Structure 1
């Protein structure tokens, strides 16, 4: 499973909810989740949208995603 989807699941938020709360298109979010590049392929727009849905800062979201990806590699 993709780290981004795992992150959303861990935070109990759906891609639909991220889309609705942030205005980001569902296809854009799906492409980010389906990307083989992990978090390296994320745009600032996607990170900001996830942050809005979770009421976190984009920096916090990115830090948590980096940590999750790092832990998945180990």
Structure 2
């Protein structure tokens, strides 16, 4: 059974029982991603590590290269 079919079945059951309709699948996906990111940053702060990952650090190095020494 796909998630769409399952959702339609849940809608039918809720309507028959007079209950509020459940949220559609995928409605809260971005909220979950944001909460997961916030939790990772919080855990990093507790561990006294930088809160940003290696990808952001690599991009920062690429966008702001160090000045070359003039020997």
Q: What TM bracket, shorter-length normalisation?
A: under 0.3
TM-score, length-normalised on structure 2?
A: 0.23
Structure with higher Rg: it is 2
Q: Which has the higher helix share?
A: 1
